Amino acid sequence: MKKIAFIGTGGTIASLGTGPLDIVHYGANKTMLQAGDILAAVPQVQEVAEVIAVPFANIPSPSIGFSEWKALSRLCSELVETHEDLAGIVIGHGTATLEETAYALGLTLKVAIPVVVVGSQRPLSGLASDAAMNLVNAVRVAADPQSVGRGVLVLLNDEIHPAREVTKTATYRLQTFRVPDFGMIGYVDGETVSYYRRTERLTAPNTEFDIASIEALPRVDIAYAYSGADGADVNAFVAAGAQGIVSAGFAPGMAPPGQMAALEAAAKSGVTVMQATRAGSGVVHDSARLTALGFVPSDNLNPQKARILLALALTRTKDRAELMRIFKTY
């Protein structure tokens, strides 16, 4: 059997409510299981692979950010160094920021084995919880030789998604994780793992970013466009020391006049401004307007993922052409 490491970070997949019907307010129970206890609660995973528990943290995913990404990256490398026969890694994670952690790891991990990020929409204790099946399927994906070379993957609801493109689209539905423009890359049906496409963008471990050498990411904020936005948010971000601002603009990529004026002023002051869209899908292309303003187009990354890549990119360059290259590469 393949050896798989399971890293527990907390989240719904680790949570226990007050009873089987507590599938909404379970967070108030403030009870999360460590990685070993989760594996003990789902003994079927040991029928799929030899799964070893790796405790990390027990926190809601809104509390996870750069320091945890860096620690997870280091932990993954240590696991590969310690266990020469390790075939894959599964990371249990809350769904709120799961897509951001998966993408950050997809840009920074330096391990060649599959890494699968998994969560659940219902707590482990809930009636008809998806936690156990998601965990079993994540282990199946991590152990499957077909998963090698595909970067960081996300598994929920029997569906395999690439970290770059997947996003959470519903608050409670089990089919919440979706890739709006291109769809999933594969399924897990029982013992069968099936892939149907690959992502074309460069991903871990073959990236130019070395998270181990970064002490902190540059501050990058997101300015959300809405009718009547006057730019107060942008001005506050600049005052707080933002080195980059992602404009989550109206489709296909524009802000209302007041916010746009503030973004233009920010760009003139040396802040890197990236134009994304709040639409949820589609591409922000380079244009004569963006070129004249010095703004950088986000390609098809959603604002929260554009923020991560921009922050990493700003540790290397502020040159617009080089930033555009990076966004076309990753």
**Residues identified as active-site:** 12
Query: Which residue in the block uniquely carries the two structure tokens 């990753």?
Result: 330
Query: Which residue in the block uniquely carries the two structure tokens 């109206």?
Result: 250
The amino acid present at 31, given as its one-letter code, is T
The answer to whether residues 161 and 185 touch, using CB atoms and an 8 Å cutoff, is yes
**% helix, strand, coil for the chain, step of 5:** 35, 20, 45
Between vectors from CA 205 to CA 38 and to CA 11, what angle results, nearest 5°? 25
DSSP β-bridge partners for residue 115: 89, 152
The amino acid present at 245, given as its one-letter code, is I
Residues in contact with 240: Cβ distance below 8 Å, sequence separation at least 6, in sequence order:
219, 221
Query: What is the distance between the alpha carbons of residues 272 and 291, in angstroms, rounded to a whole number?
Result: 13
Query: Strand (E) positions, the chain?
Result: 3-8, 50-55, 86-92, 115-118, 152-156, 159-162, 167-168, 177-178, 186-189, 192-195, 220-224, 244-249, 272-277, 296-297
CA 21 to chain centre: 29
Q: Which two tokens stand for residue 272?
A: 């890197």
Residue 280's nearest CA partner among 183, 168, 199 is 168
Query: What is the distance between the alpha carbons of residues 162 and 117, in angstroms, rounded to a whole number?
Result: 10
- Strands 192-195 vs 186-189: parallel, antiparallel or unpaired: antiparallel
Query: What is the distance between the alpha carbons of residues 310 and 274, in angstroms, rounded to a whole number?
Result: 8
